[in-house]
């Protein structure tokens, strides 16, 4: 039995399909649902945490159906929404103790003390949350979420609005929790974090799951090398066989090639022949960003971009 | 049901630490008591302060009760409600916590108003009479806060709740028996005033002060309170965001 299972999970808001037949299993790992804003990430989490009823399909958390056994589901999970909801007029300890008591934890005070120490909040625990930094508030939310030792932890944009150091700390804690056997389901749109800290990622766009796998797998599936070109003036695809344009934004075009070293001069020649002025060419390994752009597509596609050709190429690759 | 206690403790700590709000809620009823209760030239009674005090006490409970909706609205806007709804503890605990906190807070505020009334010349009654007055105020507070909390759960944002709040609180007060007895009201107002739940509470307190036991009014407040609370519990159990 997997910690999270969804089967054709679907949610409509009126005519708008927010989540479209999502089937997933997640177990004992850090799983990230990636997607642009409004792609259905939060809707998915709300359905899994029993806050929203699916229009179609089913979901189970620790074997309990999210619609029929709401209370059992809520008992086995914790949910940290993206709003950073901690009471600023209460101290850190009071905030944590409230949740320990609401969960009916035995010896709530000891449990809170222990977790405040883990999250490095002990020495500031009796100050009002008003004076806490963003990173401290997030860690306090983790304390609240962990008081009842949940089997599954849902984090909606856990590092949103935090500085680099605070983000690193949050991810350290998430990784430590996974090692302790917890299943962690995060939503994020920070690709670099998903790449470094998540075991598997799912890319969702307009409610549909478009890609699923471990970051190295997804990058390997994309191809060997990525070439980025900085363009002066108008841009169109020079159209070289074996070198595929997959993203274009402002003045940067990204191409995929089997062998980047050999493709570089070929591409440079093609640009010259097409009369396109190139300021710089760079060769690098694919990142999760590239996977994301390749899967979801650039939101605003520039004029002159050959849509049909792009689709044909995509189809050939599969 | 243990969750109720913790929800009340949370709201109570937030209220006490808010300092300004503790006193600002008392300004309006105190002003009515002093500037209207003492100053209005009234002919139907020689102690208008004694007449208007039950009305002002109920007014205090009215604004306290409606503020229960504001509390829930902010919990909703700031994301607390989502976290509470994701807890395994029964969701109606959130509702009962708000109802009890808001009603108890209203009673504390009413006590201060009562003390001010006595200090400026209102009559003093027996402990039994005060006990019954508190019972009536509590029942009224439960009715109002259950209604306001459930309404806030349904409304989209704080502006619309504030609008509904002002829309109902002033008319409810002016169409009740708070300011004048039925005998001096115009006929049309008398009809409205007699159906107004505020009047049940005000009339009941006046009857208690006159030495009677207003069984009918207390029973109606109780029945109304139970019905509204029962509906609210169902709404909270089924709520999704």
Q: Which tens digit of pLDDT belongs to each residue from B182-226?
A: 988 999 999 999 999 999 999 999 999 999 999 999 999 999 999
User: What is residue A125's DSSP assignment?
Assistant: T
Residue B67 belongs to domain spanning? 2-238
> Is the per-residue pLDDT at B41 higher than 90?
no
Mark yes or no for CB contact A52/B240 under 8 Å.
yes
What ranges in chain A are assigned the alpha helix state H?
41-48, 70-76, 92-102, 108-118, 134-146, 164-179, 191-197, 215-222, 260-274, 288-296, 307-317
Q: So what's the pLDDT on residue A127?
A: 95
Q: So what's the pLDDT on residue A310?
A: 58
> Is the per-residue pLDDT at A312 higher than 70?
no
Q: Tell me whether B166 touches chain A (CB under 8 Å).
A: no
Can you tell me the distance from the alpha carbon of A80 to that of A78, in angstroms, rounded to the nearest whole number?
Answer: 7
**Interface ipTM:** 0.87
State the average pLDDT over residues B92-112: 94
Mark yes or no for CB contact B241/A89 under 8 Å.
no
- In this structure, the answer to whether residues A79 and A120 fall within a common structural domain is yes
User: Which A-chain residues 7-26 have CB contacts (< 8 A) with chain B?
Assistant: none
Cα atoms in the Cβ-side hemisphere of radius 13 Å centred on A28: 5
User: Which A-chain residues 30-89 have CB contacts (< 8 A) with chain B?
Assistant: 46, 49-53, 71-72, 74-75, 77-81, 83-85, 87, 89
Can you tell me the distance from the alpha carbon of A176 to that of A172, in angstroms, rounded to the nearest whole number?
Answer: 6
Ranges A90-99, A107-116, A264-273: which has the least confidence: A264-273
Percent of chain A scored above 90 by pLDDT?
Answer: 51
Ranges A154-163, A228-237, B3-12, B101-110: which has the least confidence: A228-237
Mark yes or no for CB contact B87/A74 under 8 Å.
yes
- In this structure, the answer to whether residues A181 and A238 fall within a common structural domain is no
CATH number at residue A252: 3.30.70
- In this structure, the answer to whether residues A209 and A93 fall within a common structural domain is yes
Instruction: List, as one string, the DSSP characters of B154-209.
Output: HSSSHHHHHHHHHHHHHHHHHTSSSSS-GGGS-HHHHHHHHH-HHHHHHHHHHHHH
Query: Structurally, how many domains does chain B consist of?
Result: 1
- In this structure, the answer to whether residues A299 and A252 fall within a common structural domain is yes
- In this structure, the answer to whether residues A135 and A267 fall within a common structural domain is no
Q: Tell me whether A91 touches chain B (CB under 8 Å).
A: no
Q: So what's the pLDDT on residue B115?
A: 94
Can you tell me the distance from the alpha carbon of A252 to that of B72, in angstroms, rounded to the nearest whole number?
Answer: 49
Residue A249 belongs to domain spanning? 221-317
* pLDDT-derived band at A303, boundaries 50, 70, 90: very low
Mark yes or no for CB contact B89/A103 under 8 Å.
yes
Give the distance from residue B108's alpha carbon to the nearest chain A alpha carbon, in angstroms.
21
User: Which one of A213, A247, A262 terminates a domain?
Assistant: A213
- In this structure, the answer to whether residues A36 and A164 fall within a common structural domain is yes
Q: Which of A207, A308, A294 is nearest to A249 (CA)?
A: A294
- In this structure, the answer to whether residues A30 and A64 fall within a common structural domain is yes
* pLDDT-derived band at A298, boundaries 50, 70, 90: low
A212: enclosing H helix or E strand: strand A208-213
> Is the per-residue pLDDT at A301 higher than 50?
no
User: Which one of A213, A246, A279 terminates a domain?
Assistant: A213
Q: So what's the pLDDT on residue B39?
A: 81
> Is the per-residue pLDDT at A300 higher than 60?
no
Mark yes or no for CB contact B14/A90 under 8 Å.
yes
Can you tell me the distance from the alpha carbon of A109 to that of A96, in angstroms, rounded to the nearest whole number?
Answer: 9
> Is the per-residue pLDDT at B122 higher than 70?
yes
> Is the per-residue pLDDT at A278 higher than 60?
yes
In the predicted model, what is the mean pLDDT of chain B?
90
Nearest to A71 among B9, B79, B88 (CB): B88
- In this structure, the answer to whether residues A46 and A182 fall within a common structural domain is yes
- In this structure, the answer to whether residues A59 and A193 fall within a common structural domain is yes
Residue A50's closest chain B neighbor by CA?
B86
Q: So what's the pLDDT on residue A296?
A: 82
Query: Structurally, how many domains does chain A consist of?
Result: 2
User: Which one of A182, A213, A244 terminates a domain?
Assistant: A213
- In this structure, the answer to whether residues A184 and A37 fall within a common structural domain is yes
Q: Tell me whether B80 touches chain A (CB under 8 Å).
A: yes
- In this structure, the answer to whether residues A123 and A53 fall within a common structural domain is yes
Q: So what's the pLDDT on residue A313?
A: 58
State the average pLDDT over residues A55-73: 92
In the predicted model, what is the mean pLDDT of chain A?
88
pLDDT digit string, tens, across residues A115-155 = 999 999 999 999 999 999 999 999 999 999 999 999 999 99
* pLDDT-derived band at A304, boundaries 50, 70, 90: very low
Q: Tell me whether B82 touches chain A (CB under 8 Å).
A: yes
State the average pLDDT over residues A54-79: 92
> Is the per-residue pLDDT at A307 higher than 70?
no
pLDDT digit string, tens, across residues A70-97 = 889 999 999 998 888 899 999 999 999 9
CB A25 within 8 A of CB A193: no
Q: So what's the pLDDT on residue A128?
A: 95
Interchain CB contacts (distance < 8 Å): A and B: 68
User: Which B-chain residues 89-108 have CB contacts (< 8 A) with chain A?
Assistant: 89
* pLDDT-derived band at A25, boundaries 50, 70, 90: very high
* pLDDT-derived band at A233, boundaries 50, 70, 90: confident
Percent of chain A scored above 70 by pLDDT?
Answer: 93
Residues of chain A contacting B2 with CB distance shorter than 8 Å = 101, 104
3-state secondary structure of B218: helix
- In this structure, the answer to whether residues A183 and A236 fall within a common structural domain is no
Ranges B10-14, B22-26, B233-237: which has the least confidence: B22-26
Contact residues for A158 (Cβ-Cβ < 8 A; gap 6+): A80, A138, A170, A174, A186, A188
Q: So what's the pLDDT on residue B44?
A: 78
């Amino acid at each position: 039995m997997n910690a999270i299972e969804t089967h054709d999970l679907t949610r409509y808001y009126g005519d708008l399909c927010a989540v479209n037949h999502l089937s997933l299993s997640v177990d004992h790992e850090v799983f990230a649902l990636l997607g642009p804003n409004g792609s259905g990430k939060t809707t998915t989490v709300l359905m899994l945490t029993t806050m929203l009823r699916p229009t179609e399909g089913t979901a189970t958390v620790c074997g309990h159906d999210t619609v029929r056994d709401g209370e059992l589901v809520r008992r086995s999970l914790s949910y940290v929404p993206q709003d950073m909801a901690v009471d600023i007029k209460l101290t850190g300890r009071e905030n944590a103790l409230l949740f320990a008591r609401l969960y009916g934890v035995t010896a709530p005070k000891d449990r809170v003390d222990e977790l405040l120490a883990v999250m490095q909040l002990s020495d500031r625990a009796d100050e009002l949350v008003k004076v806490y930094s963003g990173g401290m508030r997030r860690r306090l939310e983790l304390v609240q979420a962990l008081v009842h030792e949940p089997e599954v932890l849902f984090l909606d944009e856990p590092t949103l609005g935090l500085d680099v150091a605070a983000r690193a700390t949050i991810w350290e804690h998430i990784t430590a929790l996974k090692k302790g056997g917890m299943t962690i389901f995060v939503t994020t749109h920070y690709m670099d974090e998903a790449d470094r800290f998540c075991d598997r990622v799912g890319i969702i766009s307009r409610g549909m799951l478009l890609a699923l796998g471990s970051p190295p797998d997804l990058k390997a599936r994309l191809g060997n090398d990525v070439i980025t070109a900085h363009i002066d003036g108008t841009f169109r695809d020079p159209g070289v066989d074996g070198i595929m344009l997959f993203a274009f934004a402002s003045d940067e075009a990204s191409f995929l090639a089997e062998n980047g070293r050999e493709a570089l001069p070929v591409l440079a020649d093609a640009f010259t022949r097409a009369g396109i002025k190139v300021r710089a060419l760079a060769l690098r390994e694919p990142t999760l960003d590239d996977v994301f752009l390749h899967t979801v597509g650039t939101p605003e596609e520039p004029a002159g971009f050959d849509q049909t050709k792009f689709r044909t190429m995509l189809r050939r690759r599969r | 049901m243990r969750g109720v206690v913790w929800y009340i403790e949370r709201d109570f700590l937030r209220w006490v630490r808010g300092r300004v709000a503790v006193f600002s809620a008392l300004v309006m009823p105190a002003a009515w008591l002093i500037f209207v209760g003492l100053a209005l030239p009234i002919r139907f009674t020689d102690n208008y302060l004694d007449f208007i005090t039950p009305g002002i006490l109920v007014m205090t409970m009215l604004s306290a009760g409606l503020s229960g909706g504001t509390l829930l609205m902010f919990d909703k806007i700031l994301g607390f409600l989502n976290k509470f709804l994701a807890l395994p503890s029964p969701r109606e605990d959130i509702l009962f916590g708000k109802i009890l906190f808001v009603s108890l807070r209203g009673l504390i505020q009413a006590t201060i108003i009562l003390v001010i009334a006595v200090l400026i010349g209102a009559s003093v009654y027996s402990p039994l009479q005060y006990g019954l007055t508190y019972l009536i105020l509590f029942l009224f507070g439960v009715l109002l806060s259950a209604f306001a909390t459930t309404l806030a759960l349904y409304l989209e944002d704080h502006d619309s709740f504030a609008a509904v709040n002002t829309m109902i609180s002033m008319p409810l007060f002016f169409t009740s028996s708070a300011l004048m007895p039925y005998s001096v009201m115009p006929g049309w107002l008398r009809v409205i005033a007699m159906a107004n739940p505020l009047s049940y509470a005000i009339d009941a307190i006046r009857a208690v002060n006159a030495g009677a036991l207003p069984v009918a009014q207390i029973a109606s407040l109780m029945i109304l309170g139970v019905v509204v609370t029962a509906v609210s519990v169902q709404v909270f159990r089924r709520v999704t965001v």
